Structure formats: C-alpha cells, structure tokens
A and B are shown apart, each in its own frame.
Chain A
Amino acid sequence: MYADMNNDPAVETEDGRLEPKLKRTGRMTLYVRRFMRRPSAVVGLVLLIVLAFFAIFGKYLTHWTYEELDFLSLGTPPDGDHLMGTTSGGSDLYAMVVRGLGRSMSIGILSSLATTVIAALVGTAIAFFEGWFEKVGMWLLDMLLVVPSFLLIAMIVRSASGTAGWLWLTLGLTAFGWIGYARTLRTLTMSLRELDYVRAAKFMGVGSLRIIVRHLIPNLGSVLIINTVLGVVSAISSETSLSFLGLGIKAPDTSLGTLLNEGQSVIVTAPWVIIFPSLVLIALTFSMQLIGDGLRDAIDPYSKSAGKAE
C-alpha cells in the first residue's frame, strides 16, 4: 500500500525548508488523483455540482415562485409554462422542486456537520477519560440508543411549523443522530490511543492536547470527512421520511419529502408530482454516496482499492 509513496520522485532540493510543504501538497494530489481515478466518484461529484447549481440558480429559469398558486392550471402535466407541471393545488412543481432540493440539501449538510462535531467531541472525550467517566458515558449512550431515535425526532419536530420548521428538523436530526456515531468514534480513538507513535509522543512528554491535535485528529480526520459526506445521505433520507409522513417540513415551506407526500394521493392522476422530486432526490443521495465511497478509497490507507502492492 505504500508502494506508490515510494515511487514518488523524492526530490532533494538544496532548499530543505521548502520541501515539506511541497510534499504535503503531494499527499493531497495523491488523494485527488486516487479520487479522480474512480469514474463513479467523478460522476457523483459532477452530479452534485449540477444539483447545487440547480438549487441555487434554478429559480431564475421560471417566473413562478414556490408560494404562488396558479388557479388556472390545477394538476396540469408539464408544459412550456410549468416546466414540471403543477400540483393539484396549483403550485408550480418546478419551483417547488428547486426550493425543496435546496431545503433538503441544507438540512442534510447542516445536520451531518453538526452530528459529526458532537459525535467527535463526545466520542473522543469518552475514549480519553478512562475510568468511571467512560463507564457512565457508555451507559448513557447505550441508554439513548434504546428508544428509536426516529420517534423522538418526530416528537420534537411536529410542534414546529412555519419557516423555522426546517431548523427544528435539523436540530432534531442532529440531537438524536450523533449517538451511534459517537460510539464508533470512541472505539476508533481507543485503537488510536494504543498506536506506537501516540505512545511514543506520550513517552516524550508531549502534552495531551498536542497529541490530540498533531497525531489523533489527522488520523480521525479522514474518517470524519468520509462519514460527514455519507451522513448527508442518511440525514436527507430521514428528512424525506419525516416530511413524507407529514411530520417534517410543512407548507408553506417545502422539501422533497413534502412533495412526495403531496404526490402520494395523486399517484394515478398526476404521476409527475412524485416522479420529478423522486428523481432529484435519488440523484442527490446517489451523488453523495458516490463521493463518499470515492473519498473513502482515496483517503483511507487501508482501503482495498489502493491495490496490492506488496
């Protein structure tokens, strides 16, 4: 797995001080190169960029807004005026999808980021402070996992409505989404703690904080990045599910899940109402998954795709 490192042309310049920086970008280029070598990862990245572009600038392609109702065309199929048709209530589906995509994306990304931060803090803290702190911490984590988190999120989110609803939803997804992840990170930190070079630093008298920042975080870093990306997928799925059940985003705001909920009743008469949001949703989660898988293979030195170079 190190073979490609060895093959890096190890240049010896007379200016030694400049070299480390140069080498570190070399590491980054290695990641980028490995990532780009996977066609699926590139497809995912392109897809995501297109979707993001669509979510931000898509609204300028139509004169309808997502709040506006066109009472002259209720439940009409796609045509020149309504690019994706209208809902039975007369909303322009295209404007709704653009808006919903933006909502779903922001909820997914925000809650995944927040989840990672909380999980990393709690997970590493529990692993670091051994003894009773660890015991109590683990018991609490287990306890929080007992009640299905979906239930609790629904409970919290249902009371919120209006434009702040999506923030509540993000909060709910975060509040109960970090627990399992924190457990994983704890296990990971514990194994890092036992690494020889971490112990070596400890034996040299390097302070705990310095060890965390210099040796542990860079090692956890790749895991955190990958899981944040993949966490977006699960956050979006949860959001969709809750909104679909009528427990998440509610009118006048909209999300892809809410649109699915609307489309459910008119599945036979106006199938486009579920087809378009579904396609966008699948494109979004699929792209994130492909990027996450690609990152895992690019960053994770233990990944199998690095090839057998023994």
Chain B
Amino acid sequence: MIKYILKRLANYVVMLFVAVSMTYFLASAFMNPRSNYMSRHPAPPEASINRSLDNANINDQTPVILRYLRWLKGVVTKWDWGLAPDQSPVGSAVATRISASVQLVTIGTILSIVIGVAIGVYTAIRQYKWQDRTLNAIATFFLVVPTAVLGLFVVFGAIWLNNATGTRLFYVTGLHSYGGSNPWGYVVDFLQHIILPTIVLTIPGVVGYHLTQRTYLLDTMNADYVRTARAKGLTLNQAIRKHALRTSLIPTCVNVAFSIAGVFTGAVITETVFAINGLGRYFVTTINNNDINGAVCIAAFGGACTLGGALLADIASAWLDPRIRLG
C-alpha cells in the first residue's frame, strides 16, 4: 500500500512539474509585463524598465529558456517563486491568501456535501414523485445560473434586506471588519460576512451533489443485493438505507476527494463579487498585472491541490470498497 502510494506520488510530481513548466511557457508567451510600464505617463526610461523586469526575471528580451531555468533554480533550491512586476515576492502573497480562501471555502464545501447528498438520497427514494420532480427542476435551474449572476442577486437581495430592516444584517464585502476585543463580537461579525458568499458557494455545490448522489443511489437501489436484503426481512427503506446507500456513497466520497482541488481556485467569482482577498481574487490580479510568476505560482498551487485530491480519491476508494482494498 505504502509502496503504491509512493509510486503514485512520484508520477504525480512528474506530472505537476511538466504541467507547471507548460504553464510557465504559456504565461511567458501570452503575458507582457513590459506593457505595464509602457502605459505609464510618462513612460519610464527603457533602461529602468529593463532593470525592473530583469530583477523580477520577466524581461521579454531575455530568452525564455534562460528565464525558465533561472526561475526553476530559484524554486527548487530556495523555494523562491519569484517577484511580481512591482517587485513584491509572489510566494508570500499566495501564502497569506490561502487562509482567507480556506475560511471561505471550507464551510461551503461541507454544507454542499451534507445538504446535496441528503437531497440526492431524498429524491432518489422518491423517484418521479412530485418532491423529486420539484427538487429536480430547482436543481436544473440553479445548475445553469452562472455563479456571477447568482452572486449579484444574493448581494442585491442582501442590500434590500439591510435597507428594509434598517440594520446592517449582512456585509457584502470582505471577511472581517470587527475591531473590538470581544470574541463573541468577532464571531458574529465573521458570520455576518461569511453567510452570503457561503450561500453563493453552496448552491452550485448542493446541486452537483444532489444530482450525482441521486444517480448513484438509483443505480444501486435496484441492485440484486438490495432485493436480497429485503428478502431477509428488511423493509424497503431499511434495505436502501443500509445496503444501497452505503455502496452509492463510495463514488460520492471519491468526488469529494477530487473536489478539494477545485476548492481553492473555484471561488474566483465569489471572491470577486464579495471582495474577499483570497486566492481567486489574487489570480485575477496577477492576470491583470501581467504577473507571470504570480500566475504560475497559483497554477502550481492549484495543480498540487488537484493531484492531492486525486491521491486522496484513490486512497478513499480503496479504503471504502473491499473489492479494491488490498493488503
């Protein structure tokens, strides 16, 4: 088992390396940090621009392969992910934003799984009944609503509610604004901030888990072994709960493991709508600022999360399914 995981891990490291390198070359080809300086009024002297660019190792006059090797050396030997065009180190910028993303995304993910799986099970047991049809129609609706639209409407609604009640129930920007020392006040303030983005993150997640869990359970609900369980004397609901559900949760668990990857980069829109300084928003900033090193660093982090999720999914399925489990 350990040997297998190590082997997988080695393969993933190679994969990540190739993917990140590819991203580096793509970013270098499509991003032009020089334009940041050229668009200033007045444009700084050429030599000064070059100095700044050279310092950040993003000068387009240096051959890209040379820049790449230099960057790689920095990453491998010093864990130095390079500088942004404004000469700030990207490594620490990413590190500080991870915490905000984690706060935002963790609650949303857990809620998505719990609510989504519950609805999925509920509707599968009532296949083609009105509850199933209604919830399915709602799910289909939310499935196609782009996150941006959803986010804006939630903001709109919150502002309306704030105005209607005359108090500031919800905050529509940031995660914290409490300056006092009362821990209770801190918590309440955090909740007031987090609730709206959590709604925006949770709804699409719930829809996803609802629809997949419903399919998985429907697949297993008609399995022969559920019939065997009923023949033993379990009621239909007991048989489904104990036998079909357990089996149908395996692919869902694998999905959960995989979703960890999306967790950190998937909140771009929500972070933008609610002005939360997380990784997603930082990613938009790097793109807009022609921040090659920043973008690559985010890509590397995202890739590492993807592969971490994949590894977790492998382990989870082996752990949950005795057919795959091996000594």
Residues of A within 8 A of B (CB): 40, 139, 142-148, 150-152, 154-156, 158-159, 233, 236-237, 240-241, 244-247, 257, 260, 263-264, 267-268, 271, 274, 278, 281-282, 285-286, 288-290, 293, 304
B148 touches A155 (CB 8 A): no
Assess whether A158 is in contact with B30, with CB atoms less than 8 Å apart.
yes
**Chain B residue, CB-CB nearest to A268:** B159
Evaluate contact between B30 and A289: CB separation under 8 angstroms: no
Q: Is the CB of B30 within 8 A of A245?
A: no
Label chain A's interface by main secondary structure.
helix
Residue pair A245, B295 in contact (C-beta under 8 Å): no
The smallest C-beta distance from A15 to any residue of chain B, in angstroms, reads 44
Judge whether B83 is part of the interface by a CB distance below 8 angstroms: no
Q: Decide if B19 touches A146 in the complex (CB within 8 Å).
A: yes
CB of B156 within 8 A of CB of A155, answer: no
Among A151, A154, A267, residue most surrounded by chain B Cβ atoms (within 10 Å):
A151
Q: Which residues of chain A are near B38, meaning CB under 8 Å?
A: none
- Give the residue of A151, A268, A282 whose beta carbon is less than 8 angstroms from that of B299: A151
CA distance A142 to B16 in the complex (A): 10
The count of residues in chain B whose C-beta lies closer than 8 Å to any C-beta of chain A is 46
Q: How far is the CA of A144 from the CA of B26 in the complex (A)?
A: 13
Q: Which residues of A contact B273 (CB under 8 A)?
A: 264
Q: In this complex, which of A237, A245, A263, A264 has the most chain B Cβ atoms within 10 angstroms of its Cβ?
A: A245
Which B residues lie at the A interface, using CB under 8 A?
15-16, 18-20, 22-23, 26-27, 30-32, 137, 140-141, 143-149, 152-153, 155-156, 159, 218, 261-262, 265, 268-269, 272-273, 283-284, 287-288, 295, 298-299, 302-303, 306-307
How far apart sit A233 and B137, CA to CA, in the bound complex (Å)? 16
9 cross-chain CB contacts under 8 A: A147-B23, A150-B268, A151-B298, A154-B284, A155-B287, A155-B295, A158-B30, A240-B146, A260-B148
- Residues of A close to B218: CB separation below 8 A: 304
- Set of chain B residues within 8 Å of A245, measured between Cβ atoms: 268-269, 272, 284
Shortest distance between the CB of A261 and any CB in chain B (Å):
8
A278, B141: Cα distance in complex, Å: 13
